[in-house]
């Protein structure tokens, strides 16, 4: 455990502002918080899109999400930011209800009711017994904060449950929870992160932002000075940040600054330190990310029924992991009242199919979805595909300790702070809290 003082902005001026790299929810929040406190700040984003992995697609007057799907009622920091950006009245409930299939049988489920009706009483009991063994960490874990010494971070979630429950329980309970949050299969992933997912689901309602989930980071970024440029180096001399090198319109520029907040994800950020801090660069490379592919089918009608989540079991040979009806998830975002079915592939399948032809992906989705919507191919008006080679951190066993190593290396550099996926959890509430940590009198890192 170590204590870090707040981010000291002494020496920051209009000509030497705090530079924030990355406009995801963490970066845009940090930039806004500096601005609100009257501290000169410059937000750098390498693309024209402000919002990072939160990305909302606007098509034919409808809004569907190609990134983060939900907000949660437990997100206190997010609520405050929504209020400040006057977006809170665009937030609506999105209760999770849907269908699950196992061995050719389909059953409905909801987030707030037992959803293992396809399994025997014995299987249900085995799941609750396995969870009962982890009641204490379930109750005491902070959903939004890592602990490097968490023993459950060293436990493989698939092995833990695989030794205690049937294949059916793995397919209908454990696998859907992990894949829907981390875009990866549970094998090799941390039990600690699953416990946080379970706890969040138990205490919070699911919400959606009708203007698009990325409207919050966009609103925050609109309050500050921004440039579209790609950061290539954070320059450090004598353990002090001195400048940031960027490429803008094909021209290399140097931005003089003594304070940098890096909110770019590790796969992008490790290159910033290859010259000046190889140990930090190496640590960042250890934080692996999952891939995902989302195939969006715009239909010519609204589907009947209330369910909008469709879980596809590996046990039944499906390659896609899950699908959602975007219209039913958030009807207010679809004035035309036509369904959009988003079918998602997750790691390792997504990685294997990342370069596959569109037709291959479409055919796989249509075949997999036949069990739920037999004639979906006849309803399709248009199809779009989103490929995300870098989706979210993989939550592998031992990940919390790896993040602690990265934190400790970064704290050796004066004027540098890492936020977002490096500290707390990559849920967006954790990301905004990591931005708020910049202004804490003392930050305790466990």
DSSP per residue over 279-306, as a string?
HHHHHHHTS-B--EEEEEEEESSPPSSS
Q: Is residue 348 in a domain?
A: yes
In which band, very low, low, confident or very high, does the pLDDT at 201 lie, cut at 50, 70 and 90? confident
Inside any domain, residue 19 = yes
User: What is the pLDDT averaged over residues 201-229?
Assistant: 94
Structure-derived torsion over alpha carbons of residues 53, 56, 59, 61, reported in degrees to the nearest 10:
-170
| Whether residue 150 sits in one domain with residue 21 | no
Q: Which DSSP letter does residue 17 get?
A: P
Residue 97 and residue 201 in one domain: yes
155 shares its domain with 300: yes
Residue 212 has a pLDDT of: 92
Ramachandran angles phi, psi of 308, nearest 5°: -130, -5
Looking at the 3D structure of the chain, how many domains does it have? 2
**The pLDDT of residue 97 is above 80:** yes
Does 384 share its domain with 408?
no
Strand partners, 108: 99
Mean pLDDT (whole number) for 27-49: 96
Chosen domain end from 356, 373, 388? 388
98 plus 193 within the same structural domain: yes
Residue 178 has pLDDT above 80, yes or no: yes
Same structural domain, 335 and 223: no
- pLDDT of 362 strictly over 80: yes
Is 379 a member of any domain? yes
Positions of E strands within 285-434: 292-299, 309-311, 322-325, 340-346, 380-388, 416-418
Highest mean pLDDT out of 89-98, 113-122, 231-240, 431-440: 231-240
- 124 and 199 both lie in a single domain: yes
Q: Is the domain of 99 the same as that of 194?
A: yes
Range of the domain at 245: 2-55+214-288+395-445
Tokens 């396995």, residue located: 130
Q: For residue 77, is pLDDT > 70?
A: yes
Q: Determine, yes or no, domain membership for 77.
A: no
- 296 and 185 share one domain: yes
In a domain, 62, yes or no: no
Which three-class secondary structure state does DSSP give residue 216?
Answer: helix
- The residues that bridge with 445 in the sheet, in sequence order, are 2
79 domain-assigned: no
For residue 333, give the CATH number of its domain: 3.90.660.50
pLDDT tens digits for 44-64? Answer: 999 999 999 899 988 777 888
Decide which of 373, 388, 403 is a domain's last residue: 388
**94/65 Cα distance (integer angstroms):** 13
Task: Categorize the per-residue pLDDT at 115 as very low, low, confident or very high, splitting at 50, 70 and 90.
Answer: low
Domain ends where: 388, 412, 429?
388
- 33 and 119 assigned to the same domain: no
End-to-end CA distance of the chain: 4
Judgement on whether residues 191 and 301 belong to the same structural domain of the protein: yes
Q: Which long-range contacts (CB under 8 A, 24 or more apart) does 68-71 make?
A: 68/213, 68/428, 69/208, 69/213, 69/324, 69/329, 70/94, 70/206, 70/207, 70/208, 71/206, 71/207, 71/208, 71/209, 71/213, 71/428
Is 283 inside a domain boundary? yes
Q: What is the pLDDT of residues 384-400, one digit of tens each?
A: 999 999 888 888 999 98
CA-to-CA distance for 140 and 134, rounded, in angstroms?
A: 10
Can you give the CATH number for the domain in which 255 is found? 3.50.50.60
**What are the counts of helices (DSSP H) followed by strands (DSSP E) for the chain?**
16, 22
Tell whether 96 and 201 lie within a shared domain: yes
53 vs 303: CA distance, rounded Å: 28
Is residue 83 one of the residues assigned to a domain?
Answer: no
């Amino acid at each position: 455990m170590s204590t870090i003082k707040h981010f000291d902005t002494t020496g920051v001026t209009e000509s030497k502002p705090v530079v924030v790299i990355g406009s995801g929810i963490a970066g845009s929040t940090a930039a806004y918080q500096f601005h609100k406190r009257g501290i000169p700040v410059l937000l750098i984003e390498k693309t024209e899109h402000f919002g990072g992995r939160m990305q909302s697609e606007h098509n034919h007057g409808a809004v569907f999400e190609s990134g983060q799907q939900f907000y949660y009622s437990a997100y206190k920091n997010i609520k405050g930011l929504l209020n400040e950006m006057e977006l809170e009245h665009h937030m609506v409930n999105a209760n999770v209800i849907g269908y699950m299939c196992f061995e050719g049988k389909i059953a409905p489920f909801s987030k707030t009711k037992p959803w293992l009706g396809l399994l025997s009483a014995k299987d249900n009991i085995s799941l609750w017994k396995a969870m009962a063994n982890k009641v204490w960490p379930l109750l005491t874990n902070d959903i939004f904060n890592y602990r490097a010494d968490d023993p459950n971070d060293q436990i493989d979630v698939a092995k833990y449950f695989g030794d205690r429950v049937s294949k059916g329980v793995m397919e209908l309970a454990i696998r859907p929870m992990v894949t829907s949050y981390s875009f990866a299969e549970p094998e090799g992933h941390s039990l600690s992160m699953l416990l946080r997912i379970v706890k969040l689901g138990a205490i919070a309602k699911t919400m959606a932002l009708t203007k698009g989930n990325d409207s919050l980071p966009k609103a925050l970024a609109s309050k500050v000075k921004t440039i579209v440029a790609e950061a290539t180096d954070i320059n450090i001399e004598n353990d002090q940040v001195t400048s940031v090198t960027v490429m803008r319109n094909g021209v290399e520029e140097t931005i003089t600054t003594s304070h940098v907040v890096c909110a770019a994800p590790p796969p992008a950020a490790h290159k910033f330190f290859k010259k000046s801090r190889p140990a930090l660069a190496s640590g960042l490379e250890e934080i692996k990310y999952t891939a995902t592919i989302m195939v969006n089918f715009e239909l010519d009608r609204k589907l009947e029924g209330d369910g909008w989540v469709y879980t596809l079991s590996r046990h039944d040979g499906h390659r896609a992991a899950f699908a959602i009806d975007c219209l039913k998830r958030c009807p207010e975002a679809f004035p035309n009242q036509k369904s959009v079915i988003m079918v998602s592939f997750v790691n390792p399948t997504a990685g294997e199919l990342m370069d596959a032809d569109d037709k291959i992906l479409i055919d796989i989705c249509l075949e997999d979805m036949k069990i739920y919507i037999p004639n979906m191919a006849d309803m399709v008006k248009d199809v779009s595909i989103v490929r995300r080679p870098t989706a979210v951190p993989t939550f592998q066993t031992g990940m919390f300790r790896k993040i602690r190593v990265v934190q400790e290396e970064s704290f050796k550099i004066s004027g540098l702070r890492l936020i977002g996926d490096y500290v707390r959890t990559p849920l967006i509430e954790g990301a905004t809290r990591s931005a708020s940590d910049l202004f804490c009198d003392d930050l305790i890192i466990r």
